[in-house]
A and B are shown apart, each in its own frame.
Chain A
Amino acid sequence: MFTHIPNNQNYISFMDNNYLDSYYENIEYTAEQHQDIVNSMPDNHWFVIQKVKIYVNGVVEFVGGRFNHPKRVNESKHIGEYVDGSAIIEFREKKGDPILQFEGVLSNGDVVNYESSKTLREGYGNLSTGTNFDTYDKSPAVNKWLARSWINGGEEELFFLVENKNMLDQVCLYYKLPVPYNNGLENILNNDLQATRIKSVDLNREGEGNWVALVVASVVFKDNVATKIRFYKTSRWVK
């Protein structure tokens, strides 16, 4: 799954032949047998649970994911790399923001800070704090701005909810930037947009069954100029 992350062989992706499903046959197991199988899994392996690919200009810029191990069910690891090898990022907990309680630490020492928007906070708990980043040049095609990230002295990123592919196209048109998707991803955006969601949230306060799939893209700003559009594609294990 990774090329540049040290000990990359320990990060197991869905299609790898030593992923979780490879330990089992299609039969019923007793609890003891199940535990024996879990115990046989190498301790240093991390199995991807949610895989994130960031697309820019139709190519993958970044690969990362959330990793777990059945032996350590309450422990997660969030790590990724830029495919060009320019940086590795690992996320760690950071309190402060009501919703986004993490920060990303890049291998060059830079820290990516996150701030949830007023819209996202309202969606989570009817919280009235926060802003929707109105000081930025925001595309009018977007209905819900979700978050902001920034590196001190570096790039800033405004995340927004992608409600359909046309909205994403309109955003790209507004900033005069290339669309982030390629033909394969375009097909998914047209036919199964929600499959790319990061998660689902009751963003519109409509109760369970009506949660909003958070399909996320972002506008990257450098020195207040939009430089690229990123699309965050999350994938999960499919039998």
Chain B
Amino acid sequence: MAYGFEAKNDNGKVIINDTIENLHFIGKATRGSNNAAYGDFPGYGGSNDALDGRVIHYYTITCSGTPVAFIKPADYSRWHGIIKQSVSGTTWSFDVMVSGTSTSNPPDIYCFVNADDIPVPSGETYGMQVFKSNGSTKTFDSRRQPLAITGGGTASAPPSDPTNSSGLPGVSSGHSWNYSSNDHDFRSSNRYTAHSDSAANTSNAMFACSSLAQAVYKRQQHGYKESCSGCFPFIGCINCQDHHSTAAWWVMYRQAFRLRSGNFDSGWTGYAAGYSFSSSFESGGWFGGGGGSYSTGSMPYTAKTINLQSNAFIIADSSRYN
């Protein structure tokens, strides 16, 4: 650089110059409504009913440029992930998923944009700005706090199987009619990949990391019996019917993250879940007779995990921006 301004840190890394566009803090996103669900399988009341649960908090912030959002957990024991980010005009929306069903611990979302996109603080007419060589594109503005990265690296993908039980849930037949006892633990509390990082703590740390991986898995049980209205000598059994039943439990997962002291964890949280039950049975009057059928719930897509990729994570100190 023949002229201009350049600042380096103690390690000689450039932190301000005329080519690097610094990210600057523009504020916390405004939290709106939330949606809490899936603390257990909807419509099911048997064994292994419990799920991790999740709350989706909805946030918005208005800014030009694309914001980089950091999650500052209120409860560091929970898993967090931004599962959707969209824009309408200059209003950006974030759907932030938090494990559990308590809505009383929403995280804060700290937003940063390029220096050239920050709104000019009113009444602040002193400071230092750095521009690119074109003289118009701002790379730094001291009136807004720049993003100071304290940690980060490459977050490996979480384990492919998001479920706590060993082995993938599968399909089994030969059960008795209407058999519907879930034998698979679909919670994800033990399914994560840990990354050592000294910047990770449970007091001020916040992180940015894309929730890429998705998965959906189901346990399915088929039951059967033959039922006849009655059996008589010579005539045999009459009005015999095949009675089939299918019970299925499924969960769709999204990748989520957790900060622990000295660790950044890449794991899973259930996003949606269902219990599908269908049965053909005797009906018709006084609890017995003809033939009826019942089905409830819906089945998931074919079980799979997708987008199982490593991705970058950044850790910063939220207390700088309070």
Contact = CB atoms under 8 A, between A and B. Distances in A.
A102 interface: yes
A21 B232 contact: yes
A76 interface: yes
Contacts of B287: 100, 146-147, 198-199, 214, 216
Contact of B296 (A26, A98, A147): A98
A194 interface: no
Contact of A74 (B176, B181, B239, B279): B239
Contacts of A76: 229, 239, 284, 289-290
A6 B292 CA distance: 27
Contacts of A37: 234
B219 to A, nearest CB: 13
Interface residues of A, number: 50
Contacts, number: 135
B135 interface: no
A118 to B, nearest CB: 8
Given A20-B232, A21-B233, A91-B284, A125 B239 contact: no
Q: Chain A's interface: helix, strand, loop or mixed, by majority?
A: mixed
A207 interface: yes
Contact of B247 (A52, A73, A126, A239): A126
Interface string A6-22: 00000000000000110
Given A49-B238, A98-B294, A126-B180, 10 more contacts: A50-B229, A52-B286, A66-B286, A73-B239, A91-B284, A91-B285, A93-B284, A101-B283, A125-B294, A198-B287
Interface of A: 20-21, 23-24, 26, 29, 34, 37-38, 49-50, 52, 64, 66, 68, 70, 73-74, 76, 78, 91, 93, 98-102, 104, 122, 124-129, 146-147, 198-199, 202, 205, 207-208, 214, 216, 232, 234, 236-237, 239
Interface of B: 43-46, 176-181, 225, 229-230, 232-235, 238-241, 245, 247, 277, 279, 281-292, 294, 296
